[in-house]
Structure 1
Protein backbone atom coordinates (compact mmCIF):
# COMPACT_ATOMS: atom_id res chain seq x y z
CA UNK A 1 0.00 0.00 0.00
CA UNK A 2 2.87 2.29 0.66
CA UNK A 3 4.05 1.65 -2.87
CA UNK A 4 0.78 2.87 -4.36
CA UNK A 5 0.82 5.99 -2.23
CA UNK A 6 4.36 6.68 -3.30
CA UNK A 7 3.51 6.34 -6.96
CA UNK A 8 0.40 8.49 -6.61
CA UNK A 9 2.44 11.37 -5.19
CA UNK A 10 5.10 11.08 -7.82
CA UNK A 11 4.98 13.89 -10.30
CA UNK A 12 5.67 13.42 -13.95
CA UNK A 13 8.54 15.57 -14.96
CA UNK A 14 7.66 18.30 -17.44
CA UNK A 15 9.83 18.31 -20.48
CA UNK A 16 10.35 21.82 -21.84
CA UNK A 17 9.14 22.19 -25.43
CA UNK A 18 11.69 23.33 -27.92
CA UNK A 19 11.05 26.50 -29.89
CA UNK A 20 10.43 24.70 -33.20
CA UNK A 21 7.31 22.91 -31.96
CA UNK A 22 5.67 25.85 -30.15
CA UNK A 23 6.06 28.53 -32.82
CA UNK A 24 5.78 26.48 -36.02
CA UNK A 25 3.66 23.63 -37.33
CA UNK A 26 4.06 20.41 -35.45
CA UNK A 27 4.50 17.18 -37.30
CA UNK A 28 0.99 16.01 -36.35
CA UNK A 29 -0.54 19.28 -37.65
CA UNK A 30 1.28 18.86 -40.95
CA UNK A 31 -0.02 15.29 -41.35
CA UNK A 32 -3.59 16.48 -40.57
CA UNK A 33 -3.37 19.29 -43.13
CA UNK A 34 -1.92 16.96 -45.75
CA UNK A 35 -4.65 14.34 -45.14
CA UNK A 36 -7.47 16.90 -45.35
CA UNK A 37 -5.98 18.39 -48.53
CA UNK A 38 -5.69 14.95 -50.13
CA UNK A 39 -9.29 14.16 -49.19
CA UNK A 40 -10.45 17.49 -50.64
CA UNK A 41 -8.62 16.90 -53.93
CA UNK A 42 -9.96 13.33 -54.08
CA UNK A 43 -13.51 14.53 -53.38
CA UNK A 44 -13.27 17.19 -56.10
CA UNK A 45 -11.89 14.62 -58.55
CA UNK A 46 -14.84 12.37 -57.71
CA UNK A 47 -17.52 15.10 -57.94
CA UNK A 48 -16.30 16.78 -61.14
CA UNK A 49 -17.39 13.97 -63.50
CA UNK A 50 -20.69 13.61 -61.66
CA UNK A 51 -21.48 17.30 -62.00
CA UNK A 52 -20.26 17.64 -65.59
CA UNK A 53 -22.44 14.72 -66.77
CA UNK A 54 -25.50 16.77 -65.77
CA UNK A 55 -24.64 19.51 -68.27
CA UNK A 56 -26.73 19.55 -71.45
CA UNK A 57 -25.25 17.83 -74.46
CA UNK A 58 -24.33 19.69 -77.64
CA UNK A 59 -27.45 18.58 -79.50
CA UNK A 60 -29.65 19.89 -76.68
CA UNK A 61 -27.80 23.21 -76.65
CA UNK A 62 -28.26 23.48 -80.41
CA UNK A 63 -32.02 23.09 -80.00
CA UNK A 64 -32.30 25.59 -77.15
CA UNK A 65 -33.16 28.41 -79.55
CA UNK A 66 -34.81 28.57 -82.95
CA UNK A 67 -34.68 31.42 -85.44
CA UNK A 68 -37.72 31.94 -87.64
CA UNK A 69 -37.89 34.27 -90.65
CA UNK A 70 -41.36 35.83 -90.61
CA UNK A 71 -40.94 38.12 -93.61
CA UNK A 72 -42.72 35.79 -96.06
CA UNK A 73 -45.81 35.22 -93.89
CA UNK A 74 -48.78 37.04 -95.42
CA UNK A 75 -51.75 38.23 -93.32
CA UNK A 76 -54.00 35.25 -92.64
CA UNK A 77 -51.18 32.73 -93.14
CA UNK A 78 -49.36 30.60 -90.61
CA UNK A 79 -46.20 28.53 -90.71
CA UNK A 80 -45.02 25.58 -88.68
CA UNK A 81 -41.51 25.41 -87.27
CA UNK A 82 -39.84 23.16 -84.72
CA UNK A 83 -38.72 24.33 -81.29
CA UNK A 84 -37.22 21.80 -78.86
CA UNK A 85 -38.65 18.93 -80.89
CA UNK A 86 -42.18 20.32 -80.64
CA UNK A 87 -44.24 22.13 -83.26
CA UNK A 88 -44.26 25.92 -83.22
CA UNK A 89 -47.00 27.93 -84.93
CA UNK A 90 -46.28 31.43 -86.21
CA UNK A 91 -49.36 33.20 -87.55
CA UNK A 92 -49.76 36.66 -89.06
CA UNK A 93 -53.23 37.87 -88.12
CA UNK A 94 -55.46 39.88 -90.42
CA UNK A 95 -57.10 43.08 -89.14
CA UNK A 96 -60.42 41.18 -89.03
CA UNK A 97 -58.86 38.38 -86.90
CA UNK A 98 -57.37 40.93 -84.51
CA UNK A 99 -60.74 42.71 -84.23
CA UNK A 100 -62.50 39.40 -83.56
CA UNK A 101 -59.98 38.56 -80.83
CA UNK A 102 -60.34 42.01 -79.24
CA UNK A 103 -64.16 41.78 -79.34
CA UNK A 104 -64.21 38.82 -76.94
CA UNK A 105 -64.59 39.90 -73.28
CA UNK A 106 -61.48 38.62 -71.51
CA UNK A 107 -63.35 37.77 -68.31
CA UNK A 108 -65.57 35.34 -70.25
CA UNK A 109 -62.58 33.18 -71.23
CA UNK A 110 -61.55 30.02 -69.37
CA UNK A 111 -57.90 31.16 -69.41
CA UNK A 112 -58.19 34.94 -69.42
CA UNK A 113 -55.70 36.65 -71.75
CA UNK A 114 -56.05 39.42 -74.29
CA UNK A 115 -54.44 39.44 -77.72
CA UNK A 116 -52.06 42.15 -76.48
CA UNK A 117 -50.98 39.82 -73.63
CA UNK A 118 -50.09 37.11 -76.15
CA UNK A 119 -48.19 39.22 -78.72
CA UNK A 120 -45.26 41.65 -78.59
CA UNK A 121 -45.53 45.43 -78.64
CA UNK A 122 -45.27 46.76 -82.17
CA UNK A 123 -45.90 43.31 -83.67
CA UNK A 124 -49.47 42.78 -82.57
CA UNK A 125 -50.31 41.02 -85.83
CA UNK A 126 -47.81 38.19 -85.23
CA UNK A 127 -48.89 35.38 -82.91
CA UNK A 128 -46.29 32.80 -81.83
CA UNK A 129 -47.56 29.73 -79.98
CA UNK A 130 -46.47 26.18 -79.29
CA UNK A 131 -48.39 23.77 -81.50
CA UNK A 132 -49.30 21.44 -78.65
CA UNK A 133 -52.84 21.14 -77.28
CA UNK A 134 -52.88 21.80 -73.55
CA UNK A 135 -55.29 18.92 -72.95
CA UNK A 136 -53.23 15.82 -73.75
CA UNK A 137 -50.48 17.08 -76.06
CA UNK A 138 -51.90 16.48 -79.54
CA UNK A 139 -50.98 18.79 -82.42
CA UNK A 140 -53.91 21.06 -83.32
CA UNK A 141 -54.94 21.71 -86.92
CA UNK A 142 -55.25 25.17 -88.44
CA UNK A 143 -51.69 26.25 -89.17
CA UNK A 144 -51.49 24.81 -92.68
CA UNK A 145 -53.52 25.79 -95.73
CA UNK A 146 -56.85 23.95 -95.92
CA UNK A 147 -56.78 22.53 -92.39
CA UNK A 148 -59.82 22.71 -90.13
CA UNK A 149 -59.56 25.83 -87.97
CA UNK A 150 -62.40 25.06 -85.57
CA UNK A 151 -65.49 27.07 -84.68
CA UNK A 152 -63.53 30.20 -83.78
CA UNK A 153 -61.21 30.40 -86.79
CA UNK A 154 -58.02 29.60 -84.92
CA UNK A 155 -56.94 26.04 -84.21
CA UNK A 156 -58.79 22.75 -83.73
CA UNK A 157 -57.46 19.72 -81.87
CA UNK A 158 -58.77 16.57 -83.60
CA UNK A 159 -57.98 14.29 -80.66
CA UNK A 160 -60.61 15.51 -78.21
CA UNK A 161 -62.25 18.49 -79.90
CA UNK A 162 -60.65 21.56 -78.31
CA UNK A 163 -61.34 24.79 -80.25
CA UNK A 164 -58.96 27.77 -80.05
CA UNK A 165 -59.62 31.24 -81.43
CA UNK A 166 -57.34 33.34 -83.65
CA UNK A 167 -55.33 34.40 -80.58
CA UNK A 168 -54.72 30.76 -79.57
CA UNK A 169 -57.06 31.02 -76.59
CA UNK A 170 -59.16 28.03 -75.56
CA UNK A 171 -62.83 28.63 -76.30
CA UNK A 172 -64.46 25.19 -76.34
CA UNK A 173 -63.46 21.63 -75.45
CA UNK A 174 -61.49 19.90 -72.69
CA UNK A 175 -58.20 21.86 -72.93
CA UNK A 176 -57.67 23.71 -69.63
CA UNK A 177 -55.44 26.55 -70.86
CA UNK A 178 -54.54 28.56 -73.96
CA UNK A 179 -51.86 27.44 -76.39
CA UNK A 180 -48.53 28.28 -74.76
CA UNK A 181 -46.69 31.37 -75.93
CA UNK A 182 -42.95 30.60 -75.65
CA UNK A 183 -40.29 33.13 -74.80
CA UNK A 184 -39.29 34.90 -78.00
CA UNK A 185 -37.84 38.18 -79.16
CA UNK A 186 -37.52 40.04 -82.43
CA UNK A 187 -33.87 40.16 -83.49
CA UNK A 188 -34.88 42.22 -86.54
CA UNK A 189 -38.15 43.30 -88.15
CA UNK A 190 -38.29 40.01 -90.05
CA UNK A 191 -36.65 37.50 -87.70
CA UNK A 192 -37.64 36.14 -84.31
CA UNK A 193 -35.56 34.04 -81.94
CA UNK A 194 -37.56 31.61 -79.85
CA UNK A 195 -36.05 30.38 -76.61
Structure 2
Protein backbone atom coordinates (compact mmCIF):
# COMPACT_ATOMS: atom_id res chain seq x y z
CA UNK A 1 0.00 0.00 0.00
CA UNK A 2 1.16 3.39 -0.83
CA UNK A 3 1.67 5.71 1.93
CA UNK A 4 -0.81 8.56 1.81
CA UNK A 5 0.41 11.98 2.59
CA UNK A 6 -1.41 13.40 5.55
CA UNK A 7 -2.25 17.07 5.16
CA UNK A 8 -4.12 19.08 7.68
CA UNK A 9 -7.17 20.88 6.50
CA UNK A 10 -7.27 24.57 7.49
CA UNK A 11 -10.67 23.86 8.94
CA UNK A 12 -9.31 21.09 11.15
CA UNK A 13 -10.45 21.67 14.71
CA UNK A 14 -7.77 21.22 17.32
CA UNK A 15 -8.33 19.91 20.79
CA UNK A 16 -8.98 23.39 22.24
CA UNK A 17 -11.79 24.11 19.74
CA UNK A 18 -10.02 26.88 17.74
CA UNK A 19 -9.27 26.48 14.07
CA UNK A 20 -6.03 27.85 12.64
CA UNK A 21 -7.94 30.14 10.31
CA UNK A 22 -9.83 31.64 13.29
CA UNK A 23 -6.60 32.21 15.17
CA UNK A 24 -5.06 34.00 12.17
CA UNK A 25 -8.19 36.14 11.77
CA UNK A 26 -8.20 37.10 15.45
CA UNK A 27 -4.49 37.94 15.36
CA UNK A 28 -4.88 40.07 12.22
CA UNK A 29 -7.89 42.00 13.57
CA UNK A 30 -6.08 42.58 16.87
CA UNK A 31 -2.99 43.90 15.10
CA UNK A 32 -5.14 46.18 12.92
CA UNK A 33 -6.91 47.49 16.03
CA UNK A 34 -3.65 48.28 17.81
CA UNK A 35 -2.32 50.00 14.67
CA UNK A 36 -5.53 52.01 14.31
CA UNK A 37 -5.42 53.22 17.92
CA UNK A 38 -1.74 54.12 17.63
CA UNK A 39 -2.54 56.25 14.57
CA UNK A 40 -5.78 57.84 15.83
CA UNK A 41 -4.62 58.72 19.36
CA UNK A 42 -2.06 61.37 18.29
CA UNK A 43 -4.51 62.82 15.77
CA UNK A 44 -7.24 63.21 18.35
CA UNK A 45 -5.00 64.36 21.20
CA UNK A 46 -3.52 67.17 19.11
CA UNK A 47 -7.02 68.72 18.93
CA UNK A 48 -7.18 69.34 22.68
CA UNK A 49 -6.20 72.71 24.13
CA UNK A 50 -2.51 73.34 24.69
CA UNK A 51 -1.09 74.26 28.10
CA UNK A 52 -0.84 77.98 27.31
CA UNK A 53 -4.49 78.09 26.22
CA UNK A 54 -5.61 76.26 29.35
CA UNK A 55 -3.60 78.68 31.49
CA UNK A 56 -5.35 81.64 29.85
CA UNK A 57 -8.80 80.12 30.30
CA UNK A 58 -9.15 81.59 33.79
CA UNK A 59 -7.57 84.30 35.87
CA UNK A 60 -7.63 85.19 39.55
CA UNK A 61 -7.81 88.78 40.75
CA UNK A 62 -7.19 90.13 44.25
CA UNK A 63 -10.02 92.60 44.90
CA UNK A 64 -9.05 93.55 48.46
CA UNK A 65 -7.61 96.94 47.46
CA UNK A 66 -10.64 98.13 45.44
CA UNK A 67 -12.55 100.67 47.52
CA UNK A 68 -16.29 101.30 47.08
CA UNK A 69 -16.83 103.46 43.99
CA UNK A 70 -13.56 102.32 42.39
CA UNK A 71 -12.99 100.05 39.43
CA UNK A 72 -9.95 98.33 38.00
CA UNK A 73 -9.10 97.00 34.57
CA UNK A 74 -7.77 93.50 34.22
CA UNK A 75 -7.11 91.10 31.36
CA UNK A 76 -9.05 87.92 30.70
CA UNK A 77 -8.49 85.91 27.49
CA UNK A 78 -6.54 88.82 26.01
CA UNK A 79 -9.49 91.18 26.48
CA UNK A 80 -10.06 93.88 29.09
CA UNK A 81 -12.26 93.08 32.06
CA UNK A 82 -13.72 95.67 34.46
CA UNK A 83 -14.10 94.90 38.17
CA UNK A 84 -16.12 97.52 39.99
CA UNK A 85 -16.96 97.86 43.69
CA UNK A 86 -20.33 99.59 43.63
CA UNK A 87 -21.31 102.06 46.35
CA UNK A 88 -24.73 101.78 48.04
CA UNK A 89 -25.78 104.88 46.05
CA UNK A 90 -24.76 103.25 42.72
CA UNK A 91 -26.65 100.08 43.68
CA UNK A 92 -29.75 102.13 44.53
CA UNK A 93 -29.50 104.03 41.21
CA UNK A 94 -29.23 100.76 39.27
CA UNK A 95 -32.16 99.20 41.13
CA UNK A 96 -34.32 102.33 40.62
CA UNK A 97 -34.29 101.92 36.82
CA UNK A 98 -37.37 100.04 35.53
CA UNK A 99 -35.97 96.91 33.86
CA UNK A 100 -38.63 96.92 31.13
CA UNK A 101 -37.44 100.37 29.98
CA UNK A 102 -33.97 99.01 29.10
CA UNK A 103 -32.86 98.00 25.60
CA UNK A 104 -31.30 94.81 26.99
CA UNK A 105 -33.42 94.21 30.13
CA UNK A 106 -31.42 92.87 33.06
CA UNK A 107 -31.56 93.77 36.73
CA UNK A 108 -28.44 94.39 38.79
CA UNK A 109 -29.19 91.17 40.71
CA UNK A 110 -29.01 89.20 37.43
CA UNK A 111 -25.58 90.71 36.68
CA UNK A 112 -23.98 90.10 40.11
CA UNK A 113 -23.65 87.19 42.56
CA UNK A 114 -26.03 86.82 45.48
CA UNK A 115 -24.46 88.21 48.65
CA UNK A 116 -21.86 90.11 46.59
CA UNK A 117 -24.17 92.61 44.86
CA UNK A 118 -21.56 95.36 45.22
CA UNK A 119 -19.11 93.54 42.90
CA UNK A 120 -19.85 94.07 39.21
CA UNK A 121 -17.55 92.16 36.86
CA UNK A 122 -17.93 92.75 33.11
CA UNK A 123 -15.91 92.42 29.96
CA UNK A 124 -14.46 95.80 28.97
CA UNK A 125 -15.54 95.57 25.34
CA UNK A 126 -18.33 97.72 23.91
CA UNK A 127 -21.02 95.57 22.33
CA UNK A 128 -21.29 97.91 19.34
CA UNK A 129 -17.96 97.57 17.54
CA UNK A 130 -15.58 96.30 20.22
CA UNK A 131 -13.99 99.51 21.50
CA UNK A 132 -12.87 99.74 25.15
CA UNK A 133 -15.22 102.00 27.13
CA UNK A 134 -13.97 104.59 29.60
CA UNK A 135 -15.00 104.68 33.24
CA UNK A 136 -12.87 102.06 34.95
CA UNK A 137 -9.74 104.18 35.28
CA UNK A 138 -9.18 107.09 37.65
CA UNK A 139 -10.51 110.34 36.16
CA UNK A 140 -12.05 108.72 33.07
CA UNK A 141 -15.46 109.84 31.81
CA UNK A 142 -18.22 107.62 33.13
CA UNK A 143 -20.88 109.01 30.80
CA UNK A 144 -24.17 110.58 31.72
CA UNK A 145 -25.41 107.48 33.59
CA UNK A 146 -22.34 107.11 35.85
CA UNK A 147 -21.16 103.75 34.50
CA UNK A 148 -19.06 103.52 31.36
CA UNK A 149 -18.78 105.63 28.21
CA UNK A 150 -17.54 104.36 24.85
CA UNK A 151 -15.67 107.19 23.11
CA UNK A 152 -15.81 105.54 19.67
CA UNK A 153 -19.52 106.02 18.97
CA UNK A 154 -20.99 107.46 22.18
CA UNK A 155 -22.60 104.47 23.88
CA UNK A 156 -23.38 105.16 27.54
CA UNK A 157 -23.76 102.45 30.19
CA UNK A 158 -25.20 102.86 33.69
CA UNK A 159 -23.68 101.77 37.01
CA UNK A 160 -24.77 98.17 36.30
CA UNK A 161 -23.00 98.30 32.89
CA UNK A 162 -26.35 98.19 31.08
CA UNK A 163 -26.70 100.04 27.78
CA UNK A 164 -28.75 103.20 28.20
CA UNK A 165 -27.88 105.39 25.21
CA UNK A 166 -26.01 105.08 21.92
CA UNK A 167 -25.66 102.43 19.22
CA UNK A 168 -24.55 99.48 21.38
CA UNK A 169 -27.21 96.75 21.17
CA UNK A 170 -26.47 94.90 24.42
CA UNK A 171 -25.17 95.38 27.95
CA UNK A 172 -21.50 94.80 28.68
CA UNK A 173 -21.01 91.03 28.91
CA UNK A 174 -20.70 89.43 32.34
CA UNK A 175 -18.17 86.57 32.18
CA UNK A 176 -18.38 83.41 34.27
CA UNK A 177 -16.78 84.09 37.65
CA UNK A 178 -16.75 82.84 41.23
CA UNK A 179 -15.43 84.17 44.51
CA UNK A 180 -12.77 81.79 45.82
CA UNK A 181 -12.49 83.86 49.02
CA UNK A 182 -13.66 87.25 50.29
CA UNK A 183 -10.73 88.94 48.55
CA UNK A 184 -10.13 86.80 45.44
CA UNK A 185 -12.33 86.31 42.40
CA UNK A 186 -11.67 83.69 39.72
CA UNK A 187 -12.84 84.72 36.25
CA UNK A 188 -13.40 81.95 33.74
- 1:47 alignment partner in structure 2: 40
Does the aligned pair in 1 maintain the 2:155–2:168 contact within 8 Å?
A: yes
Paired residue secondary structure (1:80) = strand
1:133 aligns with 2:148: no
Instruction: Report how many residues are paired.
Output: 179
- 1:97 alignment partner in structure 2: 90
- 1:85 alignment partner in structure 2: 78
Q: Cα gap change, 1:85/1:19 in structure 2, threshold over 3 Å: closer, same or farther?
A: closer
Q: TM-score, normalised by structure 2?
A: 0.90
- Structure 2's unaligned 5+ residue stretches are 1-8
Paired residue secondary structure (1:28) = helix
Deviations 1:120-166 (A, max 9, x none): 11111110001111122111111001111112111111222211111
Deviations 1:87-109 (A, max 9, x none): 11000111111111011000111
Q: Which of the numbers 174, 181, 187 marks the counterpart of 1:181?
A: 174
1:64 deviates by 1.5
1:20 aligns with 2:27: no
Does the aligned pair in 1 maintain the 2:60–2:185 contact within 8 Å?
A: yes
Q: Which has the higher helix share?
A: 1
Q: TM-score, normalised by structure 1?
A: 0.87
Query: Over alpha carbons, which structure has the higher Rg?
Result: 1
1:107 aligns with 2:100: yes
What is the rounded CA distance, in whole Å, between the counterparts of 1:187 and 1:194 in structure 2?
10
Paired residue secondary structure (1:48) = helix
- Structure 1's unaligned 5+ residue stretches are 1-14
CA RMSD of aligned residues (A): 1.6
The within-5 A match list for 1:99-178 is: 99-178=92-171
Structure 1 runs, 4 residues or longer, greater than 4 Å off: none
- 2:3 alignment partner in structure 1: none
Q: Which of the numbers 63, 67, 70 marks the counterpart of 2:60?
A: 67
